[in-house]
Amino acid sequence: MGFMFAVGECGACGKRFSFNPDLVPSVRDSEGVKQPICKDCIDRANPERIRRGLNPITPLPGAYEPGECT
Please answer whether residues 69 and 3 qualify as being in contact, where contact means their C-beta atoms are separated by less than 8 angstroms.
yes
Quick one: pLDDT band at residue 67, thresholds 50, 70, 90? confident
pLDDT in tens, 28-57: 999 999 999 999 999 999 999 999 999 999
b/e sequence 19-54, b meaning 16+ C-beta within 10 Å: bbeeebbeeeeeeeeeebbbeebbeebeeeeeeeee
Question: What's the CA gap between 56 and 26, in Å, rounded?
Answer: 14
Mean of all residue pLDDT scores within the chain:
93
Spell out the domain ranges in the chain: 2-69
Q: How many CB atoms lie under 10 A from the CB of residue 65?
A: 12
pLDDT value at residue 70: 67
| Mean pLDDT in residue range 2-17 | 93
Model's pTM, two decimal places?
0.86
SS3 6: strand
Q: Is the pLDDT of residue 6 over 80?
A: yes
